[in-house]
Amino acid sequence: MTKEIYSFERYLNVRSATGASFSPDGQHISFLTNITGVAEVWSVSIDQPNLQEPAWPRQLTFRGERVSGATFAPHADTLLVSGDIGGNERAQLFLLSADGSEFRALTEKPEVMHSFGGWSPDGERIVYNSNERDARFFDVYEMQVSTGECRLLLEQDGSNMPVRYSPDGKQVLVRRVESLSRNALILIDIDSGEARDLTPDLGEGAALHATPFWSADRKGLYLLCNRERDFLSLAYLDLATTELRYLSDIPWDVEALAVTRDGASLAMVINEDGISRLELFDVAQGWEQRHVLLAPTLPKSVVLDLAWSQDGAKLAITLSGADEPTDIWIWDMAGGHIQRATLSSTGGIPRASFVAPAVVRYPSFDGRDIPAFLYQPAGAQKNLPVVISVHGGPESQERPWFNPIYQYLVARGYAVLAPNVRGSTGYGYTYQSLDDVRKRMDSVADLKAAVEWLRESGIADPERIAVYGGSYGGFMVLAAVTTYPDLWAAAVDIVGIANFVTFLENTGPWRRKWREAEYGSLEQDRAFLEQISPIHAVDKITAPLFVVHGANDPRVPLGEAEQVVNALRQRNVPVEYLVFADEGHGLIKRDNRLKAYPAIADFLDSHVKGAAGK
């Protein structure tokens, strides 16, 4: 029987479910799903664990625009919802009843960004930040939910991100972000306004202090930290002395942490070569007297999120596998039973047809091995058309999670190589730093090495290799086709950086400092940034190029795409260009994805798959 090839539309109709939050009674969860074409808030009952399939969910919001989060209040059937318009990332806050009947705005300042920090323990207040005072900086506010009355808790010229209230509701924990690799922790006393620095000795290099939670005795915080070490590790911060001590020493990042409200149970996830491993502990008497708790056996997949129920009896686990769409599962601590809470549609495509990748490593120019995930169609394993897909960030990691683009390309006969070039996270801070500032182009050389490996291994047809990427990955695409123009049959740039100078000048003002820590500053590195910007080497581009951008992109402004497209059109180099008026940094809405990605596939078929023998 001939294997059926499904349309790209089918793959783009594969749904996902994320962002679980338990109702106060633990009988329901809210979650976000894109069933309607964009993420909205839904709810599903989880009080019948013996059902073979999840209960039918109920839609709660109908914005028609992306919802980025929804969190139940601790004692009422009310949710705090955040969402933006057209991908502009200027999120507003809303109050939603658990039955969806009431939905009202708590903030109505469309030019201001708001980020929810958490509910107070009594459910009467919320803490959040906004950049209303100055677009470059985020201050911390508290709102009385019933009246909408707000008070300023912290004004400071920095990026202050509220994390959560203290268990007694008298303090608020805040992250002060210096860059994506460094942040301080600040503890605010609500009554006095005192802001106490809990991490006064950041030192040099990496200094992440992530996902802090109060311990059971309330004397300290469990958190993830990589100060003075290569990997993110579980740590404990003493609130009286601010002394930090590490509790684990694993040669992989501990990537996620969640602690119950009473501080008695701790869940952590270790990222082992891109695959997640979950561990659970009873820490009611402290870490030294901990007991290992039974944890579910998970498939080879990625844990995207963890959330405890209010009473700590259940743990919601958001899982995504390369061959399994993103869904939410519930682990019952007492019964040792795992229950599927959501069942995302596969667009009518049999799950057995999805392909899981192989973990591979290939040597680069300096002898360093570069980790990657290789997706291949069943059967023919040699002389294939190949798409090299480069992730964004660059402080990010390619993971074996569900990607409908990869699955469609593999079904169409392509291989996909998704490398974690130097600069990626997940392999230690030393590896993450190998592309910083003046070492930027070394990561582009890793793409050349990927091509050489694909050719030498016989996997790729040397004449049919394309490069594809979004955001920072879009820069990598443009850098690849300008630095190594003879290697590529085609290229796809989605919301990519073409000119580091104009990018840093025009990106959201709150982001410039963060990005200069990675790329270099206009004041000190301008000449170098101009030198490596692909826009100054467009005359070297020979590969056909497809460019996609969102008109509302606050991170990589539309002008980056326009510079490249205009320069190539002046030189009569083949370039296709799509701009979406209602999108920002990437394509979120299904209607737009259904327009862009099939067009990209046709472009690749024309210039790559159909190039055999040319």
- pLDDT tens digits for 441-462? 999 999 999 999 999 999 999 9
Specify the length of the chain in residues.
614
Section 329-337 average pLDDT: 95
CA distance linking residue 12 with residue 6, whole number of Å? 11
Among 147, 145, 111, CA closest to 128 = 145
Q: Is the pLDDT of residue 416 over 80?
A: yes
Cβ atoms < 10 Å from Cβ of 34: 21
**Domains of the chain: which residue ranges?**
356-611
pLDDT at position 394, please?
A: 87
Number of C-beta neighbours around residue 72 at 10 A:
26
pLDDT at position 191 over 70: yes
Structure tokens at 199: 């991490």
**Can you tell me the distance from the alpha carbon of 267 to that of 292, in angstroms, rounded to the nearest whole number?**
10
Whether residue 1 is predicted with pLDDT greater than 50 in this model: the reply is no
Please compute the mean of the pLDDT values over residues 294-322 and round it to a whole number: 97
- Calculate mean pLDDT across residues 557-583: 96
Q: For tokens 């919001």, what's the residue?
A: 61
Give the C-alpha separation, 327 to 316, whole Å: 10
The residue to which tokens 């443009």 are assigned: 478
The CATH code belonging to domain 356-611 is 3.40.50.1820
Tokens 């690749």 belong to which residue? 604
Q: Are 556 and 519 in contact (CB under 8 A)?
A: no
pLDDT at position 300, please? 93
Task: Kindly tell me the number of DSSP H helices and DSSP E strands found in the chain.
Answer: 10, 36
Asked if residue 231 has pLDDT above 90, the reply is yes
The pLDDT-based confidence of 2 (bands split at 50, 70, 90) is: very low
Kindly indicate the confidence band of residue 614, based on its pLDDT and cuts at 50, 70 and 90: very low
Tokens of 14: 């594969």
Q: How confident is the model at residue 612 (pLDDT cuts 50, 70, 90)?
A: low
Whole-number pLDDT of residue 594: 95
Torsions phi, psi for 374 (to 5 deg): -115, 120
Q: Give residue 3's pLDDT.
A: 62
Round to whole Å and give the CA distance between 485 and 480.
Answer: 7
Model confidence pLDDT, tens digit, residues 97-148 = 999 999 999 999 999 999 999 999 999 999 999 999 999 999 999 999 999 9
For residues 74-94, average pLDDT: 96
Q: What are phi and psi of 54, to 5 degrees?
A: -60, 155
What was the pLDDT predicted at 524?
A: 92
The Cα-based distances of 436 to 185, 499, 513, 521 in angstroms read: 25, 17, 14, 12
